Chains A and B, each alone.
Chain A
Amino acid sequence: MAKRVILTEGDDALRRRSRTVERFDARLAMLLDDLADTMYAANGAGLAAPQVGILKRAVVVDAGTGLIELVNPEIVSHEGSVIGVESCLSVPGRCCTVERPEKVVVRAQNRLGEAIEVAGENFLARALCHEIDHLDGTLYIDRMIEDVSDRYRQVGRDEA
C-alpha cells in the first residue's frame, strides 16, 4: 500500500478517456489499495485512477459508509435530480454546485472481476457520478452551475 501523487487540473491525464480493465491481477489490486490509501490520506470521499495518472476504469468511493471499489463501473439507471456542492482533490481550493441524480444504480466488477451492482442515494449517488465522470475525462467543474468557493470552506468529506 502506498500513497500516490494526485494530479491537478491542467494535467492531460485528467482529460483522457480511461481504458476498460481486462486483467484482474496483482497490479490492479495494488492500484485499488493505493487509491484507497491516497483517498483516505487526502480526506476525500472518492478517487478515480486517472487522478493518479493511471488511465484505467477503476474508482474508490467512501461516502462515510465504508469503502467501495468499482472496476469498469457504468450507471445503468438513475432517478430524480438534486443540486449539491462538490469539490475535487484534483481541483484544490474550489467548490461548486452541480446537478446530479438523486439515486443511481451502478453495475461494475470487483477486484476479482466478479459482476457487482451498487445502488446509491444522495451523497453516495453524487460521489459515484463524480468518480465515474473522471473515467471519461470529465471534471465536475465542466458541469458546474455556480462557483461557491467563497461561501464554503472545503470540508474533508465533501471532496471527491
Chain B
Amino acid sequence: MAIRNIVILGEDDVLRKRARRVDKFDKRLRTLLDDMAQTMYKADGVGLAAPQVGILKRAVVVDVGDGLIELVNPEILKQEGGAVGVEGCLSVPGRRGTVERPERVLVRAQNRDGKAIELEAEGLLAVALCHEIDHLDGIVYVDKMIEDVTDQEEEED
C-alpha cells in the first residue's frame, strides 16, 4: 500500500484522456485499488478515480461514509431524478461548485476479482459515483459546473 501523487487539473492532461478498460484482474490492479483507497482517505476525499493518480484505467474508489466501494469498468445503466449539489475534487483543490446530477443511479461494474457487480445508489453516493465515472472519460466536474461557490467562507466574529 502506498500513497500516490494526485494529479492537479491543468498540470497534466492525463485528466482529460479516456481511460482504458481493465482486462487483467491481477496483482497490479489490486495494488492500484489499495493505493487509491489509501490516497483518498489520506486526502480526506470521498472518491478517487485512477486517472487522478495518473493511471488511465477504468477503476474508481468511493467512500461517502458507508464503507469503501471499489469499481472496475463501471457503467451507469440507469439514472433517475436530478438535483443540484455542491462538489469539490481532489484534482481541483480550493474550489467548490454546484453541479446537477441524478438522484438515483444503477451502476454495473466488476470487483477486483473481475466478478460482475451491480450497485444501486442514491443521494451523495449517486453524486460521487457519477463524479468518479466522469473522470474515466476525461470529464472534470468544473465542465458541468453551474455556479462557482468557492468564495463562501464563514464570517469571523
Residues of A whose CB lies within 8 Å of any CB of B are 2-5, 10, 13, 16-20, 27, 30, 34, 38, 52-56
Q: Which residues of B contact A4 (CB under 8 A)?
A: 83-85, 98
Q: Is B133's CB within 8 Å of the partner chain A?
A: no
Query: B103 → chain A, closest Cβ, in Å?
Result: 8
9 A–B contacts from the bound complex (CB under 8 Å): A3-B103, A5-B84, A5-B85, A5-B86, A17-B154, A18-B154, A19-B152, A20-B155, A55-B154
Residues of B whose CB lies within 8 Å of any CB of A are 65, 81-86, 96, 98, 100-101, 103, 123-124, 127, 147, 149, 152-155, 157
| Contact of A19 with B154 in the complex, beta carbons under 8 Å | yes
Which chain A residue lies CB-closest to B100? Answer: A2
The CA-CA distance from A20 to B153 in the complex, in Å, is 10
| Contact of A54 with B155 in the complex, beta carbons under 8 Å | no
Given that A2-B100, A5-B123, A27-B147 are known contacts, is A53 also in contact with B85, CB under 8 Å in the complex?
A: yes
The CA-CA distance from A19 to B103 in the complex, in Å, is 28
The CA-CA distance from A55 to B151 in the complex, in Å, is 10
Picked from A3, A27, A54, the residue with its CB within 8 Å of the CB of B86 is A54
Query: B5 → chain A, closest Cβ, in Å?
Result: 26
| Contact of B152 with A55 in the complex, beta carbons under 8 Å | yes
Picked from A3, A5, A10, A54, the residue with its CB within 8 Å of the CB of B152 is A54
The CA-CA distance from A3 to B84 in the complex, in Å, is 6
